[in-house]
A and B are shown apart, each in its own frame.
Chain A
Amino acid sequence: MTELKYLYGIIPTDEINQTPLPSFKGLDEQHELYNIAFDGMEAIVCDLEESEYNESALEEKTSDVQWVHEKAFHHHEAVMKLHEIYTVIPMKFATIYSSKTNLEETLTKHYQEMTRLLSWLKGKEEWNLKIYCDNDSLRERTAAHNLTIEEKKKEIEQMSPGRQYLEKRKLDRLIDQQLEKEKEQHSSSIHDQLATSCVKTDIKKNWNKDVTGRTDEMCWNSVYLLENQDVEKFLGKVKQLQAEWKEAGFTLELTGPWPAYHFSKLK
């Protein structure tokens, strides 16, 4: 029977010598995770039966949304477990090699970069901030508190009905633009305050309501790589900002600690 290697991540050998790999069931719920030593690094893998996970079998599996859902979470939980114990270079979901030899060839190719990345990631963790806002109430507030908009409204009241219709639509657009500007300004000022205590940061795209399944709108999405010793301070700052912005209709949601998914890049 041929066995494929599903790769979860790379960890340093000295850390696995200190704390042995805990028992964890692999992607197929049969094979256990284990480590393959590679010159100071350990590739954390699980075996998969070739007959069940070859390209065409996988094509069928990945077209099943529920399968992807379940297995993506399995990958997440396995890498999280590794991250709780070790420094880890997390792999993207579904990184699979047809043999140990092929896996080792890839490791050889990226060996230096991976070594560098492992020592850089040591003692660091990733946090994700998403800011949501209640668009309707923010819009009302913007419309009520903006002087230019206020003046424009008065002007419109003096106009003929036909003109009023056109001008009101123009004003609506103006309010929308103003609202977007304010959301962006507020979010990026929150971000700037948090970014001072991190090693590296990245701004991600906002997901719409269909994707998030929420009623409020995502207006900011960013990730931060933090030194372990700075995390407490960072969390304190987030709490403070959460309280500060609640009144204005902004909800700050922080998740973490994550393995450094966003900051593990190879050239």
Chain B
Amino acid sequence: MAIEQSTQSSNLVDVLETVLDKGVVIAGDIRVGIADVELLSIKIRLIVASVDKAKEIGMDWWETDPYLNSKAANKEQDQKLKEENDDLQKRIEELEKKMGKDNRLV
């Protein structure tokens, strides 16, 4: 029987066309721009479909690919900053050692 309760099991389009397009619009003073229902449904569907498919064949590299995942991109940037930081730290230590030696010489 196709009479459903519109709770968790509701399908994607039903929910998006309702909560993104309808409901009282008394715009809050914080402006939020959201893609239209059509584009969003297609994108979500593609993501869900491709994630399922990829996991099925044991692929999950996109989770760490900075071009596909903003979190991964941040992680990569964090890693770079950390390396740069370590590098600078080392150089400072070396310089300090050197200065210490120099001081001793004086």
Contact = CB atoms under 8 A, between A and B. Distances in A.
Contacts of A95: 23-28
Contacts of B32: 55, 58, 62, 94, 96
A215 interface: no
Contacts of B27: 95
A32 interface: no
Contact of A68 (B6, B25, B35, B38): B35
A44 to B, nearest CB: 13
B15 A72 contact: yes
Is the interface on chain B under 10, 10 to 19, 20 to 34, or 35 or more residues?
35 or more
A197 interface: no
Contact of A4 (B13, B30, B33, B44): B30
B47 interface: yes
Given A69-B44, A72-B16, A77 B23 contact: no
Contacts of A24: none
A179 interface: no
B106 interface: no
Contact of A96 (B2, B6, B28): B28
A239 B3 contact: yes
A242 B22 CA distance: 27
Interface residues of A, number: 62
Contacts, number: 152
Most buried by A among B20, B26, B29, B37: B26
B2 A251 contact: yes
Given A204-B17, A255-B4, A92 B70 contact: no
A214 B27 CA distance: 34
A80 interface: yes
Given A76-B18, A92-B22, 18 more contacts: A4-B30, A65-B47, A72-B15, A89-B24, A90-B22, A91-B26, A96-B29, A102-B28, A128-B18, A211-B37, A211-B42, A212-B13, A213-B41, A239-B1, A242-B1, A251-B2, A255-B14, A264-B22
Interface of B: 1-8, 10-35, 37-38, 40-45, 47, 49, 70
18 contacts: A55-B30, A55-B32, A62-B34, A77-B8, A91-B26, A92-B19, A92-B22, A92-B23, A94-B32, A95-B28, A96-B30, A106-B28, A128-B18, A207-B13, A211-B13, A255-B14, A261-B19, A264-B24
